[in-house]
């Protein structure tokens, strides 16, 4: 397994001190299972490396927005990074504080801006000139000044999947590097905006430190120009995106990554500025698994299929990104393994969770889809009128239901038929 929180005891997969088989029996499948210990250790890897430095950690809510997960981080003093007012509501419900929350996102509505300003968020990461004007007007209507940083697109190749690369000229995100200085000047001239920082985010599942350093160098070059124009940049937001091990990737150690970035900023003469980190996947990805049960084994002329009760609506990453997740048996069988495509019951050829996997399984067996804590449940849907899975948090030898499984009748409770 990719995280020590998930391990085998006498051939049976455990989440911390609890058998995964017992969880499936008690709560059913498909089932998301999270480890509090894994979440805690990942957060402390960031927080400990930031200790004594001018640096803060803001958890990217979009990676996993379950209230119990957010509450684990809030109890440790985490800040948060959000991309919608719905995520802000989750942060507050989970025990987080608005004043420790950064509002990112390319398409904030006026209503969302108003909610965030009234709540008192720490900063808005603004991504366009029209957004600056809209935020200035909303702040004016409330008699407030909105703290802003601009998300600058540094045109740095993060060397990751094109769908999760966000820092190139061709991406929809951020202000073009060549336009940033003039855009900052416009922001500074708006009476209800307070320019406080600079932000970038170059992509996700990044397994090298060098793209971050390249992006930081471009940001700091721009900071010097902006401050020569009479503005003060108090923080540098380097975003998130650090990768995890799904298969054989070797991302840098979190502590080494944080220290390298902070040292680089300090030696560049910018140590007086606060640095924001916005990790998501590297906090929650390997803190979760998706349990699923084999329904049928279907042999074919070219492929053998293990048809399971989880599907692309439960875990979209394989269908969307052709993403790899390790798939392991919950109870190891002393039998010959065969090669299977692990697929779900959704009526789409793209409904697969793993291809060409060597598995010794029988109908009724349980499988664990690993590294499913990030962009798993949050991207799930009700396609084919399938209720979404339950979520469980394991804490030592205790397992708590932190999201009930949906029921079919809930899925159309807000719908109505036409009158006669």
Binding-site residue ranges for pyridoxal 5'-phosphate:
241, 278-281, 375
CB 294 within 8 A of CB 363: yes
11 burial (CB, 10 Å; 0-12 / 13-18 / 19+) is exposed
Q: Which of 192, 83, 163 is nearest to 127 (CA)?
A: 83
In order, the DSSP letters of 56-113 are EEEEEGGG---HHHHHHHHHTT-EEEESSHHHHHHHHHTT--GGGEEE--S---HHHH
Tell me, yes or no, if 347 is annotated catalytic: yes
Report the first-to-last Cα separation within the chain, whole angstroms: 58
Q: Which two tokens stand for residue 261?
A: 């970035």
Is the previous residue joined to 241 through a cis bond, with omega within 30 degrees of 0? no
By the 8 A CB rule, do 274 and 234 touch? yes
3-class DSSP assignment, residue 283: helix
Q: Please state, in angstroms and rounded to a whole number, the distance separating the CA atoms of residues 367 and 310.
A: 10
Is the separation of the CB atoms in 136 and 143 below 8 Å? no
- Extract the tokens encoding 155: 């045109």
Say if CB 232 and CB 194 are below 8 A apart: no
Annotated binding-site residue numbers: 241, 278-281, 317, 321, 348, 375
CB neighbourhood size of 271 (10 A) = 13
Asked if 319 and 343 touch (Cβ cutoff 8 Å), the reply is: no
User: DSSP characters for 183-247?
Assistant: HHHHHHHSTTEEEEEEE---BSSB--SHHHHHHHHHHHHHHHHHHHTT----EEE----B---SS
Per the residue annotation, which of 123, 200, 347, 370 is the catalytic one?
A: 347
Pair type for strands 55-60 and 274-277: parallel
The two three-digit tokens of residue 220, written as one number: 């700091």
What the block records as the tokens of 250 is 């070797």
Residues at the binding site for substrate are: 281, 317, 321, 348, 375
**Active site positions, annotated:** 347
């Amino acid at each position: 397994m990719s995280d020590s929180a998930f391990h085998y005891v006498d051939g049976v997969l455990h989440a911390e001190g609890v058998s995964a088989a017992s969880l499936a029996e008690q709560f059913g499948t498909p089932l998301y299972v999270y480890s509090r210990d894994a979440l805690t250790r990942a957060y402390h890897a960031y927080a400990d490396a930031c200790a004594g430095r001018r640096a803060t950690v803001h958890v990217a809510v979009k990676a996993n927005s379950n209230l119990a997960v957010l509450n684990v981080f809030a109890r440790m003093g985490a800040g948060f990074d959000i991309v919608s007012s719905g995520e802000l509501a989750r942060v507050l419900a989970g025990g987080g504080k608005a004043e420790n929350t950064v509002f990112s996102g390319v398409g904030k509505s006026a209503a969302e801006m108003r909610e965030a300003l009234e709540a008192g968020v720490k900063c808005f990461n603004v991504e366009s000139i029209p957004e600056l004007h809209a935020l200035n007007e909303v702040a004016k209507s409330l008699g407030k000044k909105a703290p802003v940083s601009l998300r600058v697109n540094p045109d740095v190749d993060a060397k990751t999947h094109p769908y999760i690369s966000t820092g190139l000229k061709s991406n929809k995100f951020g202000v073009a590097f060549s336009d940033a200085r003039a855009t900052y000047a416009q922001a500074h001239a708006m009476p209800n905006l307070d320019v406080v920082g600079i932000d970038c985010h170059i992509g996700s599942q990044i397994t090298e430190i060098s793209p971050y350093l390249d992006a930081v160098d471009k940001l700091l070059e721009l900071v010097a120009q902006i401050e020569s124009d009479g503005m003060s940049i108090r923080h540098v937001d380097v975003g998130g995106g650090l990768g995890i091990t799904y298969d054989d990737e070797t991302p840098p150690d979190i502590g080494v990554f944080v220290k390298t970035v902070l040292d680089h900023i300090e030696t560049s003469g910018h140590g007086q500025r606060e640095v924001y980190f916005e990790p998501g996947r590297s906090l929650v990805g390997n803190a979760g698994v998706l349990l699923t049960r084999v329904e049928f084994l279907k042999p074919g002329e070219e492929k053998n299929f293990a048809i399971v009760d989880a599907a692309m609506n439960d875990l979209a990453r394989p269908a969307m990104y052709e993403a790899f997740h390790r798939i392991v048996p919950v109870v190891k069988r002393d039998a010959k393994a065969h090669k299977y495509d692990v697929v779900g019951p959704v009526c789409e050829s793209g409904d697969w969770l793993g291809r060409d996997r060597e598995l010794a399984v029988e109908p009724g067996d349980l499988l664990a889809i690993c590294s499913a804590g990030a962009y798993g449940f949050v991207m799930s849907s009700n396609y084919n009128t399938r209720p979404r899975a339950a979520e469980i948090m394991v804490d030592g030898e205790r397992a708590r239901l932190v999201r009930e499984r949906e029921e079919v009748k809930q899925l159309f409770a807000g719908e109505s038929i036409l009158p006669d």
